[in-house]
Amino acid sequence: MGERERYMQSAAVFMILRKDTQILLLQRQFTGWMDGHFSFPAGALEAGETVKSAAIREALEEVGVTVRPQDAAFAHMMHCKTGSSAWTGYFFTSVKWGGEPRVCESDKHADILWCESTMLPDNLIPYVRQAVEMIDRGEAYSEFGWEN
């Protein structure tokens, strides 16, 4: 029997801010990938971070809000394949934060949008749409992009 080869993949984190029945979305721009589409405050997991602390950091960096760890609740995990890349996405939600959400990285985002989770914009990134639908159904896990 040969030696087992470990598979390494990246992780992405997402912070869903909820206000009553609405969720906050960010519109991408100038990134070269899915520009004009909406997503959540999100980014890559960095060395030395937990997925929760990374999601909290992204909320601060991208929309200028402070989420306390006890106010960030795990909502969904998605195993994704986009193009030739495989990664795992971790989605957290918060209904409490400090500060007023705003675009903090105008070199990456054009606008913020509060919308009903049942009335999502057409130009929402497809795996983000799937995550919202799964979270609203209470599903903790899904897969995206693995169709053969």
Q: Please report how many Cα atoms fall inside a 13 Å half-sphere around the Cα of residue 24, on the Cβ side.
A: 25
**143/148 Cα distance (integer angstroms):** 13
pLDDT along the chain (148 residues), means of 10: 77 97 96 94 96 98 98 98 92 98 97 96 97 97 89
Q: Under CATH, which number does the domain 10-142 receive?
A: 3.90.79.10
Q: Can you give the residue ranges of every domain in the chain?
A: 10-142
Instruction: Report yes or no: 118 and 27 within 8 Å, Cβ to Cβ.
Output: no
pTM of the model: 0.94
